[in-house]
Amino acid sequence: MIEFVFTLDYEIYGNGSGLLNDLVYGPARRLTELFRNRSVRFVAFVEVAELEKIETYGTDPTIDLVRRQIEEFHRDGFEVGLHLHPQWCNARYDRGAWILDYREYNLCTLPRNRISQIVDGSLACIRQLVNCSGFTPLSFRAGNWLFQPTETAASVLAEKGIRVDSSVFKGGTLRSHHLDYRAALRNSYYWPFGEDVNVPDPAGRWVEVPIYTEMVPFWKMATSKRLGIKNSAGANGQAIAQKWSRIRDRLRFHCPLKLDFCRMTLNELTSMMATIIREDRKDPETFRPIVSIGHTKDLTDFDTVDSLLSFLKQNKIAISTFQNIYPKLAGPTLGSADVEPLGQPTHAVADRDTPGFTA
Ligand SMILES: [Zn+2]
């Protein structure tokens, strides 16, 4: 059985450039409409560190609409997951530009007490954003997919109640950050883990549901939609250097192509799904949660998303969130009492008078 999970990374450019209205609020509003019209929901991975700084420094007037949008997501059954780019945590705004702290780029390489501090701050912030003091996100996606080395960050996040990760893209590498998800190619559609996100561990408190990838010949990666040529306005020297580093990561015969509903063409999306559907017909008993990724900043082609939604409907593939599929993911061991209530919308304890998150 296949269940399809749309995940949307809700953020501006990683270097701090771009406006919330153009890169976050506006595209998310259109996507939300599209999903509401079909009575389906997506997972919004909200990058809270940047929103907190934008609010503190008062750099973008759309922040109020963004806050309202996130609260609405939560109220209306869209899942709010935690996404973190820790380079924002020490950010300051100086003469019209953000100065980010790239020493803290990878949460996983920071000391345990710093990770705790960042996670606590992010959870406080996300609770204020959804206007619900008892809220704990069920799901997490690391900034730039960096969930290695896993052990310390995973243990801190699990202590706070987060249970599902969707940072892995099987077969992926990022040399500049020593990231290597090639070992995960051996794993199934999802797996429990503890100390190492690549290694299934039935005793672990987490479940990994990776961003779906297919290994393709490297030349297939270079389409204009995927290279983001249309959206290169926010690029500067550093972004170009990062792009080059990624191109080097792809100089292998086969590379992982992420199931990206913003960067793939409709034909690519439906062909990838057709392969999964064929596998499923042969073995319908296996549960296949298929995670697709998109970014608000890449979201311009709504026709493709709408056509993909039609395709999924025609093929009777349910569209779900992690909250909805968690009982199936967790199974008899992870689904035990200590995690049962987490991730459910906790309206009962909502504190509607919670002030702004910088108050
Ligand atoms: Zn991100």
In a domain, 95, yes or no: yes
**Confidence (pTM):** 0.87
- Cα of 295 vs centre of ligand 1, distance in Å, is 8
pLDDT in tens, 135-150: 999 999 999 999 999 9
Which residues have beta carbons under 5 A from ligand 1 (an ion)?
A: 9, 11, 143
In a domain, 356, yes or no: no
- Cα of 336 vs centre of ligand 1, distance in Å, is 31
In a domain, 359, yes or no: no
Print the domain residue range for 286.
Answer: 2-349
Tally of domains in the chain: 1
Reported as a pLDDT band with limits 50, 70 and 90, residue 350 is very low
For the record, the structure tokens of 85 come out as 């780019």
Residue 342's pLDDT is: 36
In a domain, 77, yes or no: yes
- Cα of 283 vs centre of ligand 1, distance in Å, is 34
- Cα of 143 vs centre of ligand 1, distance in Å, is 5
- Cα of 224 vs centre of ligand 1, distance in Å, is 21
What b/e sequence results for 89-127 when a residue is b if at least 16 CB atoms lie within 10 Å of its CB, and e otherwise?
bebeeeeeebebeeebbbbbbbeeebbbebbebbbebbb
In a domain, 332, yes or no: yes
In a domain, 19, yes or no: yes
In a domain, 354, yes or no: no
pLDDT in tens, 205-262: 999 999 999 999 877 777 767 766 555 445 566 666 677 666 666 566 789 999 999 9
- Cα of 279 vs centre of ligand 1, distance in Å, is 31
Instruction: Please state, in angstroms and rounded to a whole number, the distance separating the CA atoms of residues 177 and 123.
Output: 25
Reported as a pLDDT band with limits 50, 70 and 90, residue 358 is very low
Reported as a pLDDT band with limits 50, 70 and 90, residue 317 is very high
Q: The domain spanning residue 339 has which CATH number?
A: 3.20.20.370
- Cα of 88 vs centre of ligand 1, distance in Å, is 11
In a domain, 358, yes or no: no
